[in-house]
């Protein structure tokens, strides 16, 4: 198996650049790892890093693009401090991505920015929802028609604990392994799911295949144990970037992480054919129903 991690020496959020090989690597599903790129906490922010910062019933703390904070417990002063912390990370993550991938910038759509204070290894979840099992990101209620999911992660653990992942085989190998077993896409079923409110929009064939890959690999205990994979420790004070709809990953351990998601049209990639949409279209041998063609950039 190829090395899934590309290590880069960057140490400045606002001075990022990437060569063509690094861009091609991340678009091929590899992870760009910046062991020297730390997100600095101010003293009042560091003092808040405790599990109790997460409001009861919330999975993560998030700040949306309008500045609305959700999931944090505490009084008004605590809320303001947390919002400032998460907002500053959002700004730095955007600057990092702009520097690494300048052609993406005009087309990026930021999702809410998150602070994750819980220990991932202690979560109790169903098999399909368990992010400790190898998976690619795909969502049952939110079809995205091939739109990319680009994520920036940084480990802010104050005690030096690493964030531990397993990173799996190339996406094309996974797809070739499971596509013959996946039930065919059904347009009438997609319409029924949408009419019943199960999905927020009509599920395309691309979204069907991605969700089937996500669920099938998570449910396959043999695959989870025996598939090609590598254990990776992302050190405290480090940052990493990947397309989480392309990189097979599992979060095994760690606490106190920040994350920024960006959505990107597949046509805005440097190489749209390298995307999951491009790979699945090629493997199926025809355009996927309800999904755009992964046409080359003009």
**Whole-number pLDDT of residue 63:** 97
**Whole-number pLDDT of residue 298:** 53
Look over the chain and give the mean of its residue pLDDT values, rounded to a whole number: 95
Q: Of 157, 168, 184, which Cα lies nearest the Cα of 248?
A: 168
Integer Cα distance of 7 and 290 in angstroms: 37
Integer Cα distance of 275 and 221 in angstroms: 27
241-252 per-residue burial string, b: 16 or more CB within 10 A, e: under 16: bbbbbbbbbbbb
pLDDT digits (tens, 9 = 90+) for 204-246: 999 999 999 999 999 999 999 999 999 999 999 999 999 999 9
- Structural domains in the chain plus CATH codes: 15-283 (2.60.120)
292's enclosing H/E stretch is none
**Whole-number pLDDT of residue 216:** 97
Question: Could you tell me which residues are beta bridge partners of residue 230?
Answer: 167
**DSSP assignment letter at 52:** G
Q: 292 in the Ramachandran plot: left (φ > 0), alpha (ψ -120 to 50) or beta?
A: beta
Instruction: Give yes or no for residue 107 having a pLDDT over 80.
Output: yes
Rg of the chain over CA atoms, in angstroms?
Answer: 19
Angle between helix axes 276-284 and 205-219 (nearest 10 degrees) is: 100
Q: 158 in the Ramachandran plot: left (φ > 0), alpha (ψ -120 to 50) or beta?
A: alpha
Q: What are the phi and psi torsion angles at 230 (to 5°)?
A: -135, 135
Question: Where do runs of H (alpha helix) occur along the chain?
Answer: 20-27, 43-46, 76-100, 171-178, 187-195, 205-219, 221-226, 276-284
Integer Cα distance of 263 and 255 in angstroms: 25
Tokens of 136: 């690619």
Q: What is the mean pLDDT of residues 54-59?
A: 92
Strand 109-116 to 257-264 pairing:
antiparallel
**Whole-number pLDDT of residue 187:** 95
pLDDT digits (tens, 9 = 90+) for 110-140: 999 999 999 988 877 889 889 999 999 999 9
pLDDT bin (cut points 50, 70, 90) of residue 44 is: very high
pLDDT bin (cut points 50, 70, 90) of residue 297 is: low
Instruction: Give yes or no for residue 94 having a pLDDT over 60.
Output: yes
**Whole-number pLDDT of residue 296:** 61
Question: Could you tell me which residues are beta bridge partners of residue 80?
Answer: none
Tokens of 6: 């590309």
pLDDT digits (tens, 9 = 90+) for 139-192: 999 999 999 999 999 999 999 999 999 999 999 999 999 999 999 999 999 999
What predicted TM-score, i.e. pTM, was given to this entire model? 0.96
């Amino acid at each position: 198996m190829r090395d899934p991690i590309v290590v880069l020496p960057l140490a400045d959020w606002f001075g990022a650049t990437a060569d063509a090989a690094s861009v091609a690597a991340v678009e091929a599903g590899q992870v760009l790892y910046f062991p020297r790129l730390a997100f600095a906490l101010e003293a009042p922010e560091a003092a808040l890093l405790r599990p109790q910062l997460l409001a009861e019933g919330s999975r993560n703390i998030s700040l949306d693009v309008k500045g609305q904070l959700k999931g944090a417990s505490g009084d008004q002063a605590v809320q303001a401090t947390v919002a400032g912390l998460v907002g500053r990370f959002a700004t730095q993550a955007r600057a990092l991505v702009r520097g690494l991938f300048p052609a993406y910038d005009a087309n990026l759509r930021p999702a809410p920015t998150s602070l994750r204070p819980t220990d991932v290894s202690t979560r109790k979840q169903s098999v399909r929802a368990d992010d400790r099992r190898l998976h690619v990101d795909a969502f049952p209620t939110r079809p995205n028609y091939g739109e990319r999911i680009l994520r920036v992660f940084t480990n802010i653990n104050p005690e030096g604990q690493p964030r531990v992942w397993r990173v799996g085989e190339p996406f094309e190998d996974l797809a070739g392994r499971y596509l013959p077993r996946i039930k065919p896409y059904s347009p009438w079923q997609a319409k029924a799911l949408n009419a019943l409110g199960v999905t927020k929009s009509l599920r395309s064939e691309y979204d069907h295949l991605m969700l089937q890959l996500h669920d099938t690999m998570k449910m396959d205990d043999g695959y989870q144990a025996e598939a090609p994979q590598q254990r990776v420790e992302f050190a405290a004070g480090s940052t990493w970037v990947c397309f989480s709809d392309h990189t097979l990953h599992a979060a095994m351990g760690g606490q106190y992480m920040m994350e920024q998601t960006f959505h990107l049209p597949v046509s805005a990639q440097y190489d749209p054919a390298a995307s999951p949409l491009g790979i699945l279209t090629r493997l199926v041998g025809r355009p996927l129903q309800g999904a755009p063609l992964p046409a080359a950039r003009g």
